[in-house]
């Protein structure tokens, strides 16, 4: 994603930058944006990493569960692509 796409998108950063440009509220400023992105980064890093580590640890101790997970993945997603959020309803 280049700078142009980032600014025109409907993601958190693009929408926050638009609010800064509007100059309607002093709460939308670059210091706040930097702090919030830092918060999301820190909050998401260790939690996600620890959850994945615990998950891999658990399924390595329960091979039958791992086999069932693989069978479900093969059935719903197949082996030619990565899963996406839309696969969750299946």
Binding residues for ligand HEM, rule: CB under 6 A, are 39-40, 43-44, 47-48, 51
Q: How far apart are alpha carbons 36 and 50 in whole angstroms?
A: 22
Tokens matching residue 61: 């101790």
Least distance in angstroms from the C-beta of 79 to ligand HEM:
25
Q: State the number of CA atoms in the 13 A half-sphere of 24 facing the CB.
A: 5
What residue number has its CB nearest to ligand HEM? 44
At closest approach, how far in Å is the CB of 23 from ligand HEM? 26
Q: With respect to ligand HEM, which residue has the nearer C-beta, 6 or 71?
A: 6
């Amino acid at each position: 994603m280049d700078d142009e796409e980032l600014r025109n998108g409907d993601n958190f950063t693009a929408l926050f930058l638009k609010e800064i440009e509007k100059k309607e509220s002093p709460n939308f400023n670059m210091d706040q944006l930097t702090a919030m992105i830092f918060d999301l980064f820190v909050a998401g890093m260790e939690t996600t990493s620890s959850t994945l580590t615990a998950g891999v640890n658990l399924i390595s101790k329960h091979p039958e569960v791992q086999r069932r997970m693989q069978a479900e993945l093969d059935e719903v997603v197949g082996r030619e692509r990565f899963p996406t959020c839309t696969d969750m309803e299946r």
